[in-house]
Amino acid sequence: MFSLTRRRVTGLMAGVALVAGLGAAQAQEDDIVIGGSIPLTGVFAFAGVAIEAGMQDYITQVNEAGGIGGRNLRLAYEDTGYKVDQSVAVFNKLTSQDEIHLYYGDSTGFAKTIAPELNRMGGMIMGGASFASELNDPEEHPYMFMAGPDYSEMIAILMEYIAEETPGAKIVLVNSDTEFGRDPIESSRAKASELGLEIVEEIITPPTAVDVSTEVLKLRRARPDYTIFHGYILAPLPEFMTQAQQLGLETKFMGTFWSMDSSIWDSVGEPADGFMGVMPYRYYYDEEADAPTMAKIREMRPEYQATGYMQGYLSAMLMAESARRVLDQGQELTGTNLKAAMNTIQDFDTGGLIGIPISIPGNSVPVGRVYQYSAAEKKMQPVSDWITVTE
Amino acid sequence: MTDLLFLLEVSLAGLGSGALLSLTALAFVLIYKATRVINLAVGEILMLGSYLFFAFAAGMGLSVWLALPLAVAGGALTGAVVERGLIRPMLGESPISVFMVTVGLGSVLIGLVELIWGTDPRSLPPFIANTPVFLGEAYVSRKILVAFLVAAAVMAAFMLLFRYWRGGVALRATATDQAAAYSCGINVPGVFSAAWTVGCGIAAGAGVLLGAIGGISPSMGVFGLSALVVVIVGGLDSILGALIGGLALGLIQSWAGTYLGGEYQGVVTFGLLIVALMVRPYGLFGTHEIERL
């Protein structure tokens, strides 16, 4: 007669746990792992939280549809606090725990720090939150990509729009004194002169700037038609715009991707009305008929999702598509194969996440559209067609 | 003439933002003066104050004139709890340990704010009118002018309190010699508590003013670093030093930003710190302590 003693029960439980563990390990071994140094705390946390949600949702969709060649996608990530040393530590930890061929990095600093290691390893491709122009160089950074236009291309998109609307317009560039902020200054000058636009003042603000009275005084002297901000999320843009309006300046204010989330402008109210900027993706609430991906996202998440979500979603989509193309050809998942596969992406339909089919000739997706904030609607509304820029 | 007017406008803007630095520096000074603790979490208390204001005014829909004192009281309460719960049990420990506790406290406060209000940057409900002010022909942002007036009033009040009020004198006595203050019947732990409470209340108030100008985010506490420069230059235990140091730094930053470019502001600020430390390590108005062996 089989009697259940405490020892037997313990042994039985240990056995079950071992079998279940082995099973899980087996399942995980087959997974295609996307590693992630993601900023869930710190100054960039608002983006990191949204990026993680976007990546997870796309991964869930792929896995529910059977994965890639029968293998599931899995996101292995840790918080970096938006600190380069922490991001590197997370990278080292994750790459030693799993076999990783796809990676999401959180900053320009991290991408540049890890680039030599990435080139040496040759085993993976890396996207991330940085749209640094410097990373958009396939010669120097053969394993990097970005799910949108680089910062120089973003300004170029804005300038193409300005040249169309107001030929010969006067422009002031306002950039934060950070690596992120200073990125497109050189290329902006070149693009402006190519399009016959005049840069009448360049203002650099310290990263911790709160009061911008002095900078607004410079703006009043320059009297530009357009003021382009780059290197900011929100502050000190609202104060800049409020004071400029107080002084009766009629300049139009513009920004780049990371300051284009509409929810951050909702609390600003009236002064935000008319703020424009470049956006590579559709907004959560864009309801065009040709955008099944947007409908799917709204179905999965009934509440508003920030722009970082779309960026994370598209990053995961491009990674998955590259992996799929490599595996379909019976090749190994290596950095070279994945990047080559990514560069074969041509006229690719994102399901309306971006309004036109996209191609990735180099390291970026050089497409964007100009949107304008309506304080009454509390929404960003498109004011241009999709604009593609090429070097 | 136009250039002179421009210089005047730039200088006024500098004095305005300098006043905010002075106010924040006052929080450092009050706490240091009484307890000899450099509270590195002042920046985060400032951030907490602005979020409390946001919660009362935007979240609960209270009038801003009610939300403002509540935010200041919230900051003060936090200061009192921290002093009683964390700092006082560490009396007698090495100063570096207490200093590290305040560093940790800063991180905890950031984490708490991110948990409760999330990580998005936000704007405070407007409570200062937007119409510009012209002093003669010179333009001044109204928010900056209000910040300047509030800071000036608070600083003046504290200077008077320290000179004439019994509590202020008790704090000065504690700062000079704790044992002697005890023997004179001064409630030294009470003074510690009061300094933390009032200091953190001031930081919270400065946070509301700062938030009204530049918006709020969990990372806005870095403003405290500039204020720390002010107190090191002005003297860690000198209210006058905080006032003059803040105004001077605001002015210098504004001139540097205008005539050299924004990228030079940090260089000028911290260059000034190094020079000040070399010339007067105890600050322009700080107490020159002589240690006898």
Q: Which A residues 189-218 touch B at CB under 8 Å?
A: 203-206, 208-211, 213-218
Q: Provide the pLDDT for residue A7.
A: 59
- A-B contacts at Cβ under 8 angstroms: 125
**Domains along the sequence of chain B with CATH:** 2-279 (1.10.3470)
Interface check A49 vs B, CB under 8 A = yes
Whether B62 shows a pLDDT value over 70: the answer reads yes
pLDDT for position A24: 46
Q: Residue B235 pLDDT more than 50?
A: yes
Give the single-character DSSP code of A82: T
The whole-number pLDDT of residue A25 equals: 46
Q: What is the DSSP letter of A102?
A: E
**Residue A46 contacts B, CB cutoff 8 Å:** yes
Predicted confidence (pLDDT) at residue B263 exceeds the cutoff of 70: yes
Inform me whether the C-beta atom of residue B151 falls under 8 Å from chain A C-beta atoms: no
* Beta pairing partners, A372: A276, A381
- What are the angstrom distances between the C-alpha of B32 and each of A383, B18, B80, B249? 55, 21, 15, 20
Which pLDDT does position B292 carry in this prediction? 61
**Which chain B residue has its CA at the smallest distance from A238's CA?**
B214
* Alpha carbon distance A312, A129 (integer Å): 8
In the prediction, which pLDDT does A22 show? 45
Over chain B, what HEC string results? CHHHHHHHHHHHHHHHHHHHHHHHHHHHHHHHHHHCCCCCCHHHHHHHHHHHHHHHHHHCCCCHHHHHHHHHHHHHHHHHHHHHHHHHHHCCCCHHHHHHHHHHHHHHHHHHHHHHHCCCCECCCCCCCCCCEEECCEEECHHHHHHHHHHHHHHHHHHHHHHHCHHHHHHHHHHHCHHHHHHCCCCHHHHHHHHHHHHHHHHHHHHHHHHHHHCECCCHHHHHHHHHHHHHHHCCCCHHHHHHHHHHHHHHHHHHHHHHCHHHHHHHHHHHHHHHHHHCCCCCCCCCCCCCC
Please list every residue in chain A whose beta carbon sits closer than 8 Å to the beta carbon of residue B262: 177, 203-206, 209, 215
pLDDT of residue B94: 84
Q: Which CATH class is domain A151-279+370-388?
A: alpha beta
Largest distance between two CA atoms of chain B:
62
Nearest chain B alpha carbon to A202: B261
Tell me which residues of chain B, numbers 109 to 128, contact chain A at a CB-CB cutoff of 8 Å. 110-111, 114, 118-123, 126
Q: Which of B111, B226, B258 sits opposite A208 (nearest CB)?
A: B226
Give strand ranges (E) for A162-318: 170-176, 198-205, 226-230, 252-255, 276-279
B265 touches chain A (CB under 8 A): yes
Is B210 in Cβ contact with A210 (below 8 Å)? yes
Assign 3-class secondary structure to B144-202: HHHHHHHHHHHHHHHHHHHHHCHHHHHHHHHHHCHHHHHHCCCCHHHHHHHHHHHHHHH
State residue A208's pLDDT score: 67
**Contact call for B213 and A205, based on CB within 8 A:** no
Within 8 A of B228 by CB-CB distance, chain A residues are: none
Pairing relationship of beta strands A379-382 and A100-105 according to DSSP bridges: unpaired
Cβ of B14 within 8 Å of Cβ of A221? The answer is: no
Please tell me if residue A243 touches chain B, with a CB cutoff of 8 Å: yes
Q: Give B72-110 pLDDT, tens digit per residue.
A: 999 999 999 999 999 989 877 888 899 899 999 999 999
DSSP A172-196: EEEEESSHHHHTTHHHHHHHHHHHT
The answer to whether A234 contacts chain B (CB < 8 Å) is yes
Q: Which of A84-88, B49-53, B167-171 has the lowest mean pLDDT?
A: B167-171
Helices A307-328 and A335-343, packing angle to 10 deg: 110
Q: What is the per-residue pLDDT for B23? A: 93
**Do A28-149+288-360 and A151-279+370-388 have matching folds?**
yes
- A201, closest residue in chain B (CA to CA): B261
What's the topology of domain A28-149+288-360?
Answer: Rossmann fold (3.40.50)
Give the best residue of B219, B249, B252 to mutate against chain A (max A CB count within 10 A): B219
A304 neighbourhood in chain B, CB within 8 Å = none
Residues of chain B numbered 58-77 and touching chain A (CB < 8 Å): 58
Q: Chain A partners of B9 at a C-beta cutoff of 8 Å?
A: 213, 217
pLDDT for res A23: 45
Q: Is A270 on the interface with B (CB under 8 A)?
A: no
What is the structure's pLDDT at A15?
Answer: 53
**Which residues 344-383 of chain A have a CB within 8 Å of chain B?**
none
pTM: 0.82
Q: What is the mean pLDDT of residues B139-157?
A: 90
pLDDT at A236: 86
Q: In chain B, what residues touch A233 (CB-CB under 8 Å)?
A: 121, 217
- Domains of chain A, by residue range, sit at 28-149+288-360, 151-279+370-388
Whether residues B223 and A215 touch (CB distance < 8 A) is answered with: no
Give the pLDDT score at A268: 84
Nearest chain B Cα to A179, which residue? B263
Mean pLDDT by groups of 10 residues along chain A of 391 residues: 53 52 54 95 87 97 94 96 94 95 94 94 95 94 96 97 96 91 93 96 82 87 95 87 88 95 87 95 91 95 96 97 96 96 96 95 96 95 94 60
